[in-house]
């Protein structure tokens, strides 16, 4: 039974004491749990604020990058149209035929059908009268007062976005809201065979078509979700979507910058603005603006904040539970010690059981044990990190060595070991690339096959070592006789090939071949005497004459050169220089 103590109190276990709720164990549990909850919530809210700012900054950079990409795409699209019109102004169908001829009309109609971005194309005479036009629109009209006509007489002209009410009425087109559609003017002089200006070629490009293509490109960017696309003019007015002329965009950031924008309705946006680069012929001062609702930009941060709150609450409960367990472990030896002291005070000293591992010595021993354990773990962790760092450096070095070895293997696989020129494999790969490019651009490229005349006699009379030196010297002569964009290759033995892309005209193929032949013929090969080559020339355009057919034609021409006495260049049958 419990004994009666002085003052009428009943002795008993500490767990049944009415002061248990104020015990060390409970106070430590509530204090640790509350402190953990306040700390984690404070840190979480602060982290969420920092994350919001960082997300806005990161999202701004992402949006600015998307705006720059869209601006570059818009400039590239405009430059493609400019280049197309500039080239069309010099094609033979316009340069050599009457501007009001049916052939000119077919050329304009074909170009407009090929590219739906063109709303209208026409040719005006030097006195400002429209002689030919797609669909017969504005045929015979006087365009001397149009800016594109006066500018197109002296050079290439790109006009800013404008309305064309008369053309829109003739075409029967209207923008949403009943406003006339808007166009971009492109104009270039029509150059005759003698270099004289014969008239002006002009084109109206659909502004909505270009802007819609830009909008599709932006919406395909995964970083630009829920993004609105706008295009501003040089003066900051909105060109797209359609607004009344001169309408500004309130709160627009500076060029190549981003920031937050609040509209009159109270909504906030993350806005980025990028300047559209100048093209070869124009600098219209446009800029692309991307707007994204701030809620969409910071949605991940809000989700993170909610998760941090839940994690903080759960962590606080865990800390409180751990604190309770820890308090129990710390207080239990003290409670046993109090029980023993009470037993002595009550005269039951023989029954008092003093804890051998209780009191301050035990807590000190535990602290020492934890300290030693921590030091041991840190030492092991440091050794492990050092070993990992050494392993990572070893792996990185092996990776670099492997990369260098792969690069060297790639170089050797594409290079002739004796001459240092490209080998057959590299030549065929480059020829395939040029064929694909020719199919896209509609241009062609030249091919040469060369063979050293009587090379077997050189090997027989002077030995293979001398023959190898002759091959090496001819390789250097080939490299010095062609452009950096051309490719010289050794196909095997004494046979070489040269690929000539982007030539001005087909006749250049024969001129290059003659240059190579004369260079080799007049080169001093020492005591060997004169060394000459025979060459076969062909032209490939990637479609009508693919590379394989052009190589066969060049090979036949080479054999014909051999048959005609060697030391000469022969063009393939059907090859028409000029």
Mean pLDDT over 80-87 rounds to: 88
pLDDT tens, position by position, 193-230: 888 999 999 998 887 777 777 777 677 666 666 788 88
Q: Where residue 352 falls among pLDDT bands split at 50, 70, 90?
A: low
> Structure pTM?
0.45
Place of tokens 């839940």: 310
Which of 78-82, 298-302, 413-417, 513-517 has the highest mean predicted lDDT (pLDDT)? 513-517
What are the CB-based long-range contacts (under 8 Å, 24+) for 92-100? Answer: 94/123, 94/190, 94/198, 94/201, 95/190, 95/191, 95/192, 95/193, 95/198, 96/192, 96/193, 99/123, 99/125, 99/131, 99/132, 99/190, 99/198, 99/199, 100/131, 100/132
Specify whether the CB–CB gap between 472 and 494 falls below 8 A. Answer: no
Compute the mean pLDDT over every residue in the chain, rounded to the nearest whole number. 80
Q: Where residue 437 falls among pLDDT bands split at 50, 70, 90?
A: very high
Rounded Cα gap, residues 69 and 551, in angstroms: 41
Rounded Cα gap, residues 511 and 265, in angstroms: 71
pLDDT at 472: 95
pLDDT at 479 over 80: yes
Of residues 516, 543, 571, the one with CA closest to residue 444: 543
Residues 6+ apart with CB under 8 A from 175: 181, 182, 208, 242
HEC letters along 74-134:
HHHHHHHHHHHHHHHCCCHHHHCCCCCCHHHHHHHHHHHHHCCCEEEEEEECCCCEEEEEH
pLDDT at 68 over 70: yes
pLDDT at 469: 95
Q: Where residue 452 falls among pLDDT bands split at 50, 70, 90?
A: very high
Cα-based distances in Å from 117 to 105, 113, 206, 271, 286? 18, 9, 5, 29, 19
Rounded Cα gap, residues 135 and 138, in angstroms: 9
Of residues 328, 329, 334, the one with CA closest to residue 360: 334
Specify whether the CB–CB gap between 249 and 229 falls below 8 A. Answer: no
Q: Which CATH fold topology does 60-297 show?
A: Beta-Lactamase (3.30.450)
Which of 269-273, 415-419, 455-459 shows the lowest mean pLDDT across its residues? Answer: 269-273
pLDDT at 67: 82
Continuous segment of H or E residues that includes residue 412: helix 360-413
pLDDT at 358: 52
Categorise residue 492: left if φ over 0, alpha if ψ from -120 to 50, beta otherwise: left
Residues in the chain: 578
pLDDT tens, position by position, 258-282: 888 777 777 788 888 899 998 888 8
Rounded Cα gap, residues 283 and 116, in angstroms: 24
pLDDT at 511 over 80: yes
Residue boundaries of the structural domains of the chain: 60-297, 424-571
Of residues 366, 281, 377, 300, the one with CA closest to residue 84: 281
pLDDT at 464: 93
pLDDT at 56 over 60: yes
pLDDT at 395 over 60: yes
Give strand ranges (E) for 412-454.
445-452
Which of the two residues, 465 and 297, has the higher pLDDT score? 465
Place of tokens 């003290």: 334
pLDDT at 14: 45
Backbone angles phi and psi of 481, in degrees to 5 = -95, -5
Q: Domain spanning 424-571 has what CATH number?
A: 3.30.70.270
pLDDT at 314 over 70: yes
pLDDT at 10: 43
Rounded Cα gap, residues 198 and 97, in angstroms: 10
Q: Which two tokens mark 493?
A: 């033995």
Which of the two residues, 292 and 134, has the higher pLDDT score? 134
Place of tokens 């063009």: 571
For residue 539, the tally of other CB atoms under 10 A from its CB is 22
Place of tokens 């040089």: 234
Q: Where residue 7 falls among pLDDT bands split at 50, 70, 90?
A: very low
H-assigned helices in 198-259: 207-219
DSSP 486: S
Which of 191-195, 301-305, 395-399, 416-420 shows the lowest mean pLDDT across its residues? Answer: 301-305
């Amino acid at each position: 039974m419990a004994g009666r103590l002085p003052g009428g109190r009943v002795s008993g276990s500490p767990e049944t004491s009415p002061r248990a709720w104020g015990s060390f164990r409970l106070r430590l549990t509530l204090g640790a749990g509350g402190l953990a909850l306040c700390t984690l919530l404070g840190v979480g809210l602060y982290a969420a604020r920092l994350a919001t700012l960082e997300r806005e900054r990161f999202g701004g950079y992402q949006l600015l990058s998307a705006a720059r990409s869209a601006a570059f795409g818009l400039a590239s699209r405009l430059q493609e149209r400019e280049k197309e019109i500039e080239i069309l102004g010099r094609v033979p169908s316009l340069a050599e035929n009457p501007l009001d001829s049916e052939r000119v009309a077919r050329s304009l109609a074909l170009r407009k059908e090929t590219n739906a971005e063109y709303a209208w194309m026409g040719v005006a005479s030097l006195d400002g009268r429209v002689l030919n036009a797609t669909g017969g629109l504005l045929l015979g009209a006087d365009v001397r007062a149009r800016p594109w006509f006066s500018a197109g007489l002296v050079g290439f002209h790109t006009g800013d976005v404008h309305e064309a009410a008369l053309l829109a009425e003739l075409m029967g087109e209207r923008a949403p809201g009943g406003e006339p559609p808007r166009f971009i003017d492109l104009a270039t002089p029509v150059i005759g065979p003698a270099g004289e200006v014969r008239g002006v070629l002009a084109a109206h490009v659909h502004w909505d078509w270009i802007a819609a293509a830009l909008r599709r490109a932006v919406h395909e960017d995964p970083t630009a979700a829920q993004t609105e696309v706008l295009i501003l003019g040089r003066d900051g007015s909105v060109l797209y979507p359609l607004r009344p002329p001169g309408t500004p965009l309130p709160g627009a950031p500076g060029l190549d910058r981003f920031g937050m924008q609040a509209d009159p309705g109270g909504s906030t946006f993350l806005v980025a603005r990028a300047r559209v680069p100048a093209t070869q012929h124009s600098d219209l001062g446009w800029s692309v603006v991307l707007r994204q609702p701030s809620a969409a930009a910071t949605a991940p941060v809000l989700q993170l904040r909610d998760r941090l709150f839940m994690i903080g609450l759960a962590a606080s409960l865990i800390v409180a539970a751990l604190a309770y367990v820890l308090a129990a472990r710390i207080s239990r030896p003290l409670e046993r010690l109090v029980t023993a002291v009470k037993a002595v005070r009550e005269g039951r000293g023989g029954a008092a059981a003093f804890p051998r591992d209780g009191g301050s010595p035990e807590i000190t021993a535990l602290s020492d044990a934890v300290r030693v354990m921590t030091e041991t773990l840190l030492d092991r962790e440091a050794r492990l990190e050092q070993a990992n760092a050494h392993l990572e450096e070893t792996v990185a070095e092996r990776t670099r060595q492997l990369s260098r070895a792969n690069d060297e293997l790639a170089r050797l696989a594409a290079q002739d070991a004796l001459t240092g020129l490209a080998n057959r494999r590299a030549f065929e790969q480059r020829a395939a690339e040029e064929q694909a490019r020719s199919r896209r651009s509609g241009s062609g490229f030249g091919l040469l096959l060369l063979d050293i005349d009587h090379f077997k006699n050189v090997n027989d009379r002077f030995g293979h070592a001398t023959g190898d030196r002759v091959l090496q010297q001819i390789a250097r002569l080939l490299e010095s006789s062609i452009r950096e964009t051309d490719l010289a290759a050794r196909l095997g033995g004494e046979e070489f090939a040269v690929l000539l892309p982007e030539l001005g005209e087909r006749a250049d193929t024969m001129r290059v071949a003659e240059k190579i032949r004369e260079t080799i013929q007049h080169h001093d090969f020492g005591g060997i005497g004169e060394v000459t080559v025979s060459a076969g020339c062909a032209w490939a355009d990637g479609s009508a004459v693919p590379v394989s057919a052009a190589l066969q034609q060049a090979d036949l021409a080479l054999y014909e050169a051999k048959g005609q006495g060697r030391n000469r260049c022969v063009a393939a049958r059907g090859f028409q220089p000029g």
